[in-house]
Amino acid sequence: MKIKGKTMIEHVIEKAFYATASRKAILVINPDFEGDFLSQLKVPVTFAYQSVPKGTADALAQALNLIENGEDILVMYADLVLISRDSLKSLVSLHIERNCDITFLSGTTERRYPYALVERDERGRVIAFQEKKVPDFDPPWEFYIGPIILKKSVVEAYIEKLSPNESTGEIYIADIVSMAIADNKNICGFVTNNEREFLGVNTPEDLKAAEEIIEQ
């Protein structure tokens, strides 16, 4: 799908380039559709392949051998085109300034979303990060909304230890965060106050809404 003349992936990649010093983008795709991507994309990318969707952590695993040791990895999702440049820039800045092992983008809301629920202690430290957890406390709630930066070394430390979700059979990046929390890694989170950034574009109605509010 295109928004304002660009594919959603191009919007996401351009925002990632804006927020970082890197010009390297790795796109994890089903290899059956590589030709379609090549015909549409106008930005340089390297492809990694996930023939069968097995979760976000599995997609990340397919790209690891294309990433240099010692690098940080900014993970983005193609449907989250409404994440702002400013939020991404703040995410990257926080990760660098605090030398975080993992830094995620989240938002607070009175609405319930099917995203990973973030819980903090009274000092603001992240103490729980659970995929699709139903909140058992009153709002406002904090949800992880997609973009996340992980040190490659941290991913490698946990990726082989992940267990498939009982209901989906998939492995998730949120589970890497949970394991890192348990090991007292330096987990950071930048909180956006713009609830529009929660919106994933997956239906014609979503596309219409995105056309009206997406950054030029």
Residue 112's domain comprises: 2-213
Q: pTM for the whole thing?
A: 0.91
Chain segment 17-61, per-residue pLDDT in tens: 999 988 899 999 999 999 998 988 888 899 999 999 999 999 999
Chain segment 91-124, per-residue pLDDT in tens: 999 999 999 999 999 999 999 988 899 999 999 9
The larger pLDDT score, comparing residue 86 to residue 210, is at 86
CATH of the domain at 104: 3.90.550.10
Per the prediction, the chain carries an average pLDDT of 90
Pair 106, 116: CB distance under 8 Å:
no
Q: Work out how many domains the chain is built from and give that number.
A: 1
Mean pLDDT of 172-196: 94
pLDDT at 206 over 70: no
- CA 26 to the chain's CA centroid: 13
The larger pLDDT score, comparing residue 198 to residue 134, is at 134
Longest dimension (CA), the chain: 51
pLDDT, residue 186, reads 97
pLDDT, residue 98, reads 96
Contacts of 140 (CB under 8 A, 6+ apart): 108, 109, 110
pLDDT at 216 over 60: no
User: 11 pLDDT band (50/70/90 cuts)?
Assistant: confident
pLDDT, residue 79, reads 85
pLDDT at 80 over 60: yes
